Structure formats: structure tokens, C-alpha cells
Amino acid sequence: MFQIGCHLSASRGFLAMGRDALKISANTFQFFTRNPRGGSAKDIDLDDVAAFRALAQKNGIQTILAHAPYTLNACAANPSVRDFTRRTMADDLRRMEHVPGNLYNFHPGSHVQQGAEKGIELIADTLNAILTPTQRTTVLLETMAGKGSEVGRSFEEIRAIIDRVALSDKLGVCLDTCHVHDAGYDIVGDLDGVLERFDAVIGLDRLKAIHLNDSKNPLASHKDRHELLGQGSLGLQAIARVINHPRLRHLPFFLETPNDLAGYGREIALLKTLREP
Ligand code: FE
Ligand code: FE
Ligand code: ZN
């Protein structure tokens, strides 16, 4: 089955997201757990969650992806920022237990002059503080473009974080096509080679989701500006190879292209024509 969806606004709750997804013939979606700039989350509405779970069951909405606010920084130099990150992520994971068995993605962080080594250590500390043996959510480290001092710009950095986490069976990776391309992995010219590299360094069994985006910038630009599918430096052919690759095609794909709901609907319809049976 082709698991395809996009980023949706969470402001009206789970049921509304489920309905939005069905409106554009998506069978999964991504959402921010709270305002992307951080701040407090609305209380979980149990009726809303129950109604969503019934809708999802009935309509075949499968694994969904929660995204942590992107202003968190698990490797900030300032301990109070790290503490805020910890509390926010721990709270998100508690809330995710209302929709068990899904995915929670976060940007590893920016080390800001502390060096990648230190960043990796602090990110692992954060994960060691918040992961629990009983949680039913898999936490995903997102591959980053390497803008500024972002950690997670290479497969080796992601692997180094995973290696330092005790409950690493709760960890996976979300590969963002715009980010890895901007980081310097040539998924346009050599997708097989990039996936072999991923497998050798991290292990493809860790890969749990794909962020499907075109990029406004060239290979290795370290920029991270998403573009509409087919209108950037990846192009539609490369994107078609990603969704059809034998080692990727079982994964859920999430669009984070600059779109409104109707635009996402058009891209999903396009992707369905590109998907090989
Ligand atoms: Fe992200
Ligand atoms: Fe992404
Ligand atoms: Zn991005």
C-alpha cells in the first residue's frame, strides 16, 4: 500500500486532521504537537482522539507522524533551554500514548559553537532522560541540511547519537529528501549509492519515514528551503525513484512542500500517478 500524506494544521484537533487527510485522498499525515515555536499544548481532548481513532480505523489511516516544535534544541549550550526541550518532548511523548504506535520526529539540534561532538553527547543525554521502556511511540531523528551548526547533517552524526542512547530500540530516522540533498547526498544522481551508505552507517531498518520535498537550492548548499515537487533541484524523476525504490516504497511519505490543502491534494494525486504498482 502507498502510504502518502502531508503536513496538516493541528489547531482543530485530531478528527479535523483525519477529515482533512481524507479530503485530499491521503492515508496518513504529519502535524506539530504544539505551536511550532514551542509554548504550551492544548489539553488532549479524549472525545476528539476517540473519534479520530474510529475514523482512522474505518478509512485505513495508518501510521501518523507527530513533529516536535522546531525551536526546541536538545543540545543548546544554555541548560535552561535544554531543560525546556526535555520537558516539552517528554510531555509530547506522554500525549502520544493516546494515539499509540505512531511516530514522533524531532530536529536533533544546533550545537552553536560547542562542536558537533558535544552536540551529539547532549542530544543523547536528552533522549536518555525522556525515553521510557513502556512507550509505544518511535522517536525519529530527522536528517538535517547542515545549515548553521545543525547536528544530523551526516548519517555518521545520526549514528553517533543512536549509539549513545540506552533505549535505542525506541529510535528511528526520518529522511528528508530536501535536507539530505542540501547536506550533499546526491539522491538525484545516485539514490542507490546514498541508500547503501545509509544502510552501512545507520542501517535501513532504522528508517521509518520520508519527508518528501523538492529543494530550492543545489546539492550540498546546506540551505533547507523546500520547493514544490518537480519545481526544484530534485525534479519529478528523482522523486518518482524515491517513492518507488524497493527499499523505500513500504515507508510512509509526508509532503512538507509550500502548499495549502488543495495544493497538497494535487501533489498527492500526481504522486499516485507516478507510483508503480
Ligand atoms: Fe522537520
Ligand atoms: Fe522535514
Ligand atoms: Zn526543512
181 annotated active-site: no
Residue 203, all three cell numbers: 542501517
Catalytic residue among 48, 111, 211, 214: 211
Predicted confidence at residue 98, as pLDDT, reads: 96
Q: Over range 24-32, report the average pLDDT.
A: 98
C-alpha distance across the termini of the chain, in Å? 9
Catalytic residue among 95, 159, 179, 181: 179
- Among candidates 120, 5, 109, which has minimal Cα distance to 61? 5
pLDDT digits (tens, 9 = 90+) for 151-183: 999 999 999 999 999 999 999 999 999 999 999
Predicted confidence at residue 40, as pLDDT, reads: 79
The pTM for the full model equals: 0.97
Predicted confidence at residue 91, as pLDDT, reads: 96
Averaged pLDDT score across all residues of the chain? 97
107 annotated active-site: yes
67 annotated active-site: yes
Catalytic residue among 82, 153, 181, 226: 226
Q: Which ligand is nearest to the CA of 36?
A: 1
Answer whether residue 57 shows pLDDT above 70: yes
Residue 2, all three cell numbers: 502507498
37 annotated active-site: yes
Q: Which ligand is nearest to the CA of 70?
A: 1
Q: Over range 49-71, report the average pLDDT.
A: 96
Q: How many angstroms separate the Cα of 243 from the Cα of each of 11, 77, 268?
A: 29, 38, 12
Confidence of residue 41 (pLDDT cuts 50, 70, 90): confident
Geometric angle at alpha carbon 48, from 41 and 100, rounded to 5°? 75
pLDDT digits (tens, 9 = 90+) for 122-138: 999 999 999 999 999 99
Measure 67 CA to ligand 3 centroid, in angstroms. Answer: 12
Q: Over range 68-93, report the average pLDDT.
A: 96
Q: Over range 61-73, report the average pLDDT.
A: 95
70 annotated active-site: yes
Nearby residues for ligand 2 (ion, Cβ within 5 Å): 176, 211
Q: Across-strand partners of 30?
A: 7, 65
Share of the chain above pLDDT 90, in %: 95
On whether the CB atoms of residues 226 and 215 are closer than 8 A, the answer is yes
Share of the chain above pLDDT 70, in %: 99
For residue 140, give its domain range.
4-274
Measure 146 CA to ligand 3 centroid, in angstroms. Answer: 10
Hey, how many other C-beta atoms are within 10 angstroms of the C-beta on 83?
Answer: 13
Residue 276 per-residue DSSP state: -
CA dist., res. 5 & res. 254, Å (int): 5
Catalytic residue among 67, 95, 111, 153: 67
Please state at what angle helix 14-23 crosses helix 46-59, rounded to 10 degrees: 30
Residue 147 sits in a domain of what CATH number?
A: 3.20.20.150
Number of domains into which the chain is organized = 1
Catalytic residue among 20, 48, 92, 142: 142
Geometric angle at alpha carbon 232, from 38 and 207, rounded to 5°? 55
- CB within 8 A of 75, min separation 6: which ones? 82, 108, 109, 110, 111, 114, 118, 119, 120, 121, 122, 123, 126, 151
Residue 24, all three cell numbers: 485530499
Q: How many angstroms separate the Cα of 209 from the Cα of each of 104, 204, 232, 248?
A: 10, 11, 21, 9
Confidence of residue 38 (pLDDT cuts 50, 70, 90): low
